[in-house]
Amino acid sequence: MYRGKRVSVVIPCHNEEDGIAEVIDQMPDCIDEVVCVDNCSTDNTAQAATERGARVVPESRKGYGYAHKAGYAAAKGDIIVTMDGDGTYPPDSLPLLLYVMFEENVDFITARRWYSKNGDTKNPIRLLGNAVLSGTMMLLYFKFIVDSQSGMWMFKKEILADLDLTSDSMALSEEIKIEAFTHPGIRSFEMPIYYGERIGVSKLNVWRDGLYNLFFLFKKRFMLRKKHARRPAVAATPTPAPAPEAEVSEHRAGGVG
């Protein structure tokens, strides 16, 4: 609980039996529940999560986006936080993110992986891929988001109804940021965090996922254009002219019956 609001952490997991236990063990006291979405694991992920007190939600359709959406539907919190089940995102940064969310009245915060405390640098191919994807996203959407591929974000559950999440794959990560940052009624923010070393085997297919995510940025831009084109232009709607005073009072008088 944080300032009277329940906080759920949603963790999509595909074969993360080594990492999930460590991630859950590091949860700070302000977290009310951990929802581990077991996405077609063939190892002991579900058992490891249950033993640590997490609620395990099975998702039989394989995909990062499917797993996230199943987790959001199952989460009971007023605030939802996401991270991987692999130890790369720091649970101890959650109190600070929550503090900023409340003090600044922000609806959506995405965590930018800033640097590793133990000095590890990421694989140069991945750094380049992330730079290309984030740069393309900035150019297409005019939003300054440095880490478009981060898997850690936090949002008020009430904004979910305003987010049109179409992706069932890894592209959900960029899509949710695009939806939040381009929505005029949602206050969004990017905050730096430390990142840690990955526990267990990466599920990312760098070339396949990277190229698909690049394609998805263009597809989503086109989808948003069509959506905005369908919206009625508010300014063009003629405002009805006020009825002459005599007519109004006559109508009111007659309306009572």
- The span of 56-64, 85-93, 108-116, 182-190 binding Mg ion (CB under 5 A) equals 85-93
- CB 204 to Mg ion: min, Å: 7
Does position 86 interact with Mg ion (CB under 5 A)? The reply is yes
Q: How far is CA 51 from CA 38, 47, 209, 253, 256, in A?
A: 14, 6, 32, 71, 68
Say if CB 68 and CB 155 are below 8 A apart: no
Which residues contact ligand GTP by CB under 6 A? 12-14, 16, 39, 62-64, 67, 84-86, 88, 151, 170, 198, 202-204
In the list Mg ion, ligand GTP, none, the entry touching 65 (Cβ below 5 to 8 angstroms by class) is: none
Cβ closest to ligand GTP, residue 2 vs residue 64: 64
CB of 232 to Mg ion, least distance (A): 42
Q: Which does 188 bind (CB under 5 to 8 A by kind): ligand GTP, Mg ion, none?
A: none
Minimum distance from residue 126 beta carbon to ligand GTP (Å): 7
φ/ψ (deg, to 5) at 119: 80, 5
174: partner contacted, choices ligand GTP, Mg ion, none (Cβ within 5-8 A by kind): none
Q: Which residue is nearest to ligand GTP (CB)?
A: 202
Answer yes or no: are the C-beta atoms of 155 and 149 closer than 8 Å: no
Yes or no: say if 19 and 199 are a contact pair by the CB < 8 Å rule.
yes
Which among Mg ion, ligand GTP, none contacts residue 64 (Cβ within 5 to 8 A by kind)?
ligand GTP
Cβ nearer to ligand GTP, comparing 14 with 69 = 14
Question: HSE of 183 in the Cβ direction (CA atoms, 13 Å)?
Answer: 21
| Strands (E) located in 117-215 | 153-156, 188-195
Shortest distance, CB of residue 69 to ligand GTP, whole angstroms? 11
Q: Which two tokens stand for residue 191?
A: 């905050």
Contact 198/19 with Cβ under 8 angstroms? yes
Binding-site partner at residue 172 among Mg ion, ligand GTP, none, CB < 5 to 8 Å by type: none
E-strand spans in 70-131? 79-82, 108-116
The torsion angles phi and psi of 255, rounded to 5 degrees, stand at -70, -25
Beta strands 55-59; 33-39: pairing state: parallel
Q: In this complex, which beta carbon is closest to ligand GTP, that of residue 11 or of residue 106?
A: 11
22 is a contact residue toward Mg ion (CB under 5 A)? no
- Residues near Mg ion (CB under 5 A), total: 3
Is the distance from CB of 164 to CB of 83 less than 8 angstroms? no
Which of 22, 38, 59, 84 lies at the binding interface for Mg ion (CB under 5 A)?
84
Written as one letter, the residue type at 23 is V
Residues in contact with Mg ion by the rule CB under 5 A = 84, 86, 88
